[in-house]
Each structure stands twice: as C-alpha cells, then as structure tokens.
Structure 1
C-alpha cells in the first residue's frame, strides 16, 4: 500500500471560529475535556501510516500550540506553521512545509476523525490518485433562486464533503499555487483540484466527522463521541 510513499497529516486550525460567540478560537475550546484540535492530533499520532504531522495555526496562537504539544507529547515528527488570511492560504503554508508523498489535509474543527476512517480514505487514494471523505445527503435538497424552488436534486447523487482530503503533494501544491496566482477563492482542496482537471474520488465519511461551526455543534458532538466510546467499550 502507498508504495512506501511518505504520508503527512496537515491539520488546519487557522480559523477564528467567529460563529462560536467565544473569544477563544474553536480549535482550542474544550470537547470532553480536551481541546478540539487535540482530538485530530491524537488520531493521526496513533495512525501507523502517518509519518509526520503539521499543525497550521493563526500566527498569534503559535505559542498556545507549542504548549499543547508539550502537554500532548506526540510520538511522530511534528511541525507548527502559521496560517494565512483564508483557508487556502493556511493549507498552502502547510503543504509547503510537508515532505513529498501523500498529504491528508484535515480540518481541526472535525474532531471525530478516526484512524480507521483515514486508513480507508488512504486506500481509496492509493487506488485512484486522490480521496475525499464524504457522506450522502439524508435530506431532500433543491436548487432555488430568489426564495423559489427551481428544481429538486436527486438525493442519491448529492454528498456532503468532509476531510481528510488526500492528494499527492506535488499535485496539490500545483493546484493551490494556481489558485493563488489567479486569485481563485476555493472552499476546499477538491474544488481547486477539480478545476485543474482531476477526477475526484469519494471515501466513506461519518456523521461523527461533521464540522463544528456553532456552539450547538460542540454539544451534539460531545454526546455522539461519548456514545461512540461506549459502543467501542462494549
């Protein structure tokens, strides 16, 4: 698997989480007694296929990140880099700091990631050249304009994209540099890679891996993680 290529996990925690109504960025808020970002770091630290971890933080939170690492004590090579104004700027800083090989770009605001999910996604990437975790939509979705439904969407063809999103470093770097050079704003890595002509392949995500964007998300995820932990123990 992976042809002995190096695997780097890039945990993107460069945002400020303004919708959380808290002076503390959401990546440092506590979830079941641990900072949100620590959940992802612990996942990749325990995942045997990951060789190194890069944490991307706001420049004014680097010292907090170093203190977190001191308390956390990862076993793998670890680096902290400063993020940028936009998510794609933060990601490209992480990509530039990474070794050649496979990159798993993951949002720190998705603390429900597991080694099993990451392993399955890496297998998809190894077979197809990339992988993006996703979950099928459970809701009926429509296209609408000016508050009026234009057309329903086929629910079987609609997915919610998550992270990790996995690409080869040289391909992702080329895509992100193209976006920067052409002032393209993208919300995730798969968007720019699709614009660059790459077919994007889906890997199985999870409702546990949903993104924290508001205070209620944090409360719901804490319940889900506790329930998941109980099921594992049983």
Structure 2
C-alpha cells in the first residue's frame, strides 16, 4: 500500500502568511503530524506528497529526506495534484496497489481507525473505502440567492428551500482508499468529462463505483478556519502516536 498527500493548496480561509499545512501545532507543522500518522501504519510503504513547484517550506520538514517520502509537483486543483502523484507512483507500483489519499490538513488520524479502514479496503478493493461521519445536525438545503432581487449595497439573503433527511447523509473524511489504476482512470475521465470533483470518492462514483463508508471520528477533522487550530491541538494531544 502507498499513500498520497495533496499539499499544494494555499489555505486562503486561514488568512495566514503561509499555507495552512505548515502552521505549527504542538511543536510541529500540521503536515508533519499528518505524515507521522500515515507512517505509523506498517502497511504504508511509500508516501507521495504533491507540493507547489515553488514550495519554500517542505525542505524544513523532519520528513523531507525520509526514505519513504517522495516529493512530486502538484497542480492548481486537488484532483490535478492527486493525478500527478498517481502518475509518478505508477512508475513503481502496479495498478492493483491500494493508495490512501489523505488531506494534509487532517493531522489527527487514530492508528486503530486507519488500520480498520485499510482492512475494509483490502477486503473490497473493487469498491474502495473512505472514512465518513453521519450528520448529526438538521440539514437545510439552500438554493443560490437571486442577486437581481437585492440592492447592490446589501448582501443577498440565503433562504431555505427544504430540510433534507439527515439519516441518509454522511460527511466524507479522508483517508480515501482505492486501487491505484482505478483511481487514476476515474480522475482522468472526470477531468475530461468536466465532472466536478471534490474528493476521490466522487470521481469513483462518477464511474459507477459505490465506495464503502467506514465510520470515522470527530478527531479526523480538517483544519480550515483559524479557530480549528485549538481544537486539533486538543485532539492531537490525546492520540497515541507522537512525533
């Protein structure tokens, strides 16, 4: 098994002076915590990290020259970055190799949960698997507001169209695990067909695959807003795996 970390994003919502994956948390960057969590699983033999071509920070990572780490050039979108890493991986690994794609900004990944996910993916490689959480709150559906009906000096109002049945709604997390060749093909076709891809599972779904959901954890949260840092620091302090 191998892993891919798309880390070419700039994290605009964090409002920081550097990409969010390089923000410090408990003495290490978010990216280093993420790498550490993946390396803790013995089945992961290689990690491909997709970075900006002009990345100035990864060289300072404690894993920059680690044997199992390989840096590749990412793209302007998540799917481009993942595809770049998959293409490099296919030069070494067979199409049937399982690849776990994990967000750089999800640094807290409990070892037992990751192991369980890989077990399911190994049992069902034709479908793959991903971590996800069932929605707990009431979910409202809002259509895009009509900007023609509001004064140009005021923000358009969001109006509820309907309430969705939360029993059937899950929030996707990562890692998401699929066969290397299958995922490359799905992402390539999605790009060619102009399909909107927000995660690897959506690319597989577009090709008729039904990935298996493995119940995740609140701890596997994605750092997106500045206030997320305090919470992820709390979760990291509780995990077994330490850098």
Q: TM-score range by the shorter chain?
A: 0.7 to 0.9
Partner of 1:68: 61
What are the Cα deviations for residues 184-216 of structure 1, in whole angstroms up to 9, with x where unaligned?
A: 331111111101110121012111111111110
Aligned residue for 1:84, secondary structure, equals coil
Greater Rg, structure 1 or structure 2?
2
Alignment partner of 1:143 out of 141, 154, 159: 141
Partner of 1:4: none
Q: Within 2, Cα distance between the matches of 1:141 and 1:185?
A: 22
Partner of 1:41: 35
Q: How many residues align?
A: 222
What's the TM-score once normalised by structure 2's chain length?
Answer: 0.85
Partner of 2:85: 94
Q: Within 2, Cα distance between the matches of 1:8 and 1:114?
A: 18
Matched, 1:82 2:73: yes
Matched, 1:21 2:19: no
Q: Within 2, Cα distance between the matches of 1:73 and 1:136?
A: 38
Q: Greater helix percent: which structure?
A: 1
**Aligned-pair distance for 1:96?**
1.0
**Aligned-pair distance for 1:149?**
2.8
What's the TM-score once normalised by structure 1's chain length?
Answer: 0.88
Matched, 1:205 2:216: yes
Aligned residue for 2:49, secondary structure, equals strand
- Give the aligned CA root-mean-square deviation in angstroms: 2.0
Q: Within 1, Cα distance between the matches of 2:182 and 2:219?
A: 29
What are the Cα deviations for residues 34-92 of structure 1, in whole angstroms up to 9, with x where unaligned?
A: 0000011111222111111111111111x53233145x764x52210011011110010
Q: Within 1, Cα distance between the matches of 2:123 and 2:111?
A: 18
Contact 1:14 1:56 in 2 (8 A): yes
Unaligned runs of 5+ in 2: 146-157
**Aligned-pair distance for 1:20?**
0.9
Q: How does 1:46-195 map to 2 (within 5 A)?
A: 46-61=40-55, 64-69=57-62, 74=66, 76-98=67-89, 99-100=93-94, 101-129=97-125, 130-145=128-143, 146=145, 147-195=158-206
Greater mean alpha carbon deviation, residues 217-226 or residues 170-179: 217-226
Shift in alpha-carbon separation, 1:73–1:82, aligned structure 2, 3 A? closer
